[in-house]
Amino acid sequence: MAFGVYIHFPYCLSKCPYCDFASQATAAPHDRYAQAIARELASREPEWRGRRAASLYLGGGTPSLWEPAALAAALEAVREVVPFDGDAELTLEANPGACDAARFGAYRALGFNRLSIGVQSFNEASLKALGRKHSGPDAERAFALAREAGFANLSLDLIYGAPGQSVEGARGDAARAARLAPEHLSVYGLMIEGLEIETPMAREVRRGRLEVPDDEAQWLMGEEIRAELEGAGYRRYEISSWAKPGFESRHNSMYWLGGEYLGLGCGAVGFALEDPRDPSKGGRRWGNHRSATRYLEAVESGASPESWSERLEARDLLRERLAIGLRRVAGVDIEAVCAELGQDPEPSLRAARGLVERGLATLDGSLLRLNDRGLDFHTEAAVSFV
């Protein structure tokens, strides 16, 4: 079973009004946070020691604010317990407003071989509407610095559907991103509802003080972006993910394929199978405190940093595997997943046939794949398996 490590760094220069991530605009306690990661890891060591990780993802927050020396200490602690495969994918999220050549060089020297740059848009009006503090040229400069530092695998994040954005504006962002020729792109429609917390932007929309493009406009933007990226040689391999051949995100693929992950840090989520050789025995998922202060205080006092935890039986894992697996354009093999989890495939195949009848998917033997329309309605399709 694939296994990866996720570290969350919750500090940002400012809080974007649409963001529901565990992040806060306060000065980062660089060394203290690194020590907390090492302490949390020590408390989880018996469960994970000896496992080899195929990927590490440092997300946030704004990890490119983390002083390289402090990050090095945290990484050393992780490597000591969980060594990485020789060809492991090590990704760090970078903010165009918080990066420079020296930092990128230092991250490269620490073993990071992939950067995910949070561009979101190149358009000044869209960036302002999203509350971002960087500019389009800042994003291009960050990209050039990353290349100069030796990163041969770069991903750009874009958001479409910002207040005031037009369909042409969304396509323009995709075109400008493609011109930089990153190996990977993650492209998300702006989410206002269904988030973990109500954001300031969602509140303004609910009160009628702010308008965002409606569902149809957002769908059209998605279509235009798809045309632009396909024309530029990118292949959509997951609902929001595009890559040049061979550059699909290995860490994210691990999530979509039901792998295990050791989550460390404030707000991080982890998942461990009871027995990695037998997924039918179920597993456990947990999440750490979303408040950095609560997380640090818990770890430093020797208490558990977890704010929730749930036991997942094989039938729960099956629902998740099918629902999340459907995010992948390659689809999900129902019989193979059921065999792995010791479950009867018939009810799932029946639900799959229902999706085919509704024109959302194809079923080839037991391989279920959403088509473009199905990917647009993924949430609806996934509900069929719940």
Measured distance CA(352)–CA(248) in Å, rounded? 26
Which residues are CB-contacts of 110 (< 8 A; sequence separation ≥ 6)? 68, 71, 72, 75
| Angle, CA of 286, 291 and 294, to the nearest 5° | 85
Residue 116 binding ligand SF4, by CB under 6 A: no
Stretch that binds ligand SF4, among 12-20, 69-77, 204-212, 258-266 (CB under 6 A): 12-20
Cβ at position 231, least distance to ligand SF4 in Å: 29
Residue 16 binding ligand SF4, by CB under 6 A: yes
**Is 21 or 160 the residue whose CB approaches ligand SF4 more closely?**
21
CA distances for 316 relative to 2, 248, 313, 332, 369, angstroms:
19, 27, 5, 16, 21
Residue from 5, 6, 61, 271 touching ligand SF4 (CB under 6 A): that is 61
Measured distance CA(376)–CA(298) in Å, rounded? 41
Cβ at position 343, least distance to ligand SF4 in Å: 37
Q: How many CB atoms lie within 10 A of CB 3?
A: 21
Stretch that binds ligand SF4, among 13-21, 40-48, 167-175, 314-322 (CB under 6 A): 13-21
Stretch that binds ligand SF4, among 43-51, 60-68, 82-90, 243-251 (CB under 6 A): 60-68
Residue from 55, 64, 91, 95 touching ligand SF4 (CB under 6 A): that is 95
**Is 106 or 191 the residue whose CB approaches ligand SF4 more closely?**
191
Looking at residue 105, its amino acid is G
Residue 19 binding ligand SF4, by CB under 6 A: yes
Stretch that binds ligand SF4, among 16-24, 37-45, 188-196, 233-241 (CB under 6 A): 16-24
Q: Rule CB under 6 A: which of 118-137 touch ligand SF4?
A: 118
Residue 283 binding ligand SF4, by CB under 6 A: no
Which residues are CB-contacts of 77 (< 8 A; sequence separation ≥ 6)? 34, 37, 38, 41, 42
Residue from 5, 6, 7, 23 touching ligand SF4 (CB under 6 A): that is 23
Measured distance CA(88)–CA(84) in Å, rounded? 6
Query: Percentage helix, strand, coil, to 5, in the chain?
Result: 40, 25, 35
Three-state secondary-structure class, residue 68: helix
Report the half-sphere exposure of 192 (CA within 13 A, side-chain side). Answer: 20
Residue 292 binding ligand SF4, by CB under 6 A: no
**Is 88 or 292 the residue whose CB approaches ligand SF4 more closely?**
292
Cis before 359 (ω within 30): no
Measured distance CA(300)–CA(39) in Å, rounded? 8
Residue from 12, 37, 115, 381 touching ligand SF4 (CB under 6 A): that is 12
Binding site for ligand SF4 (CB under 6 A): 12, 15-16, 19, 21, 23, 60-62, 95, 118
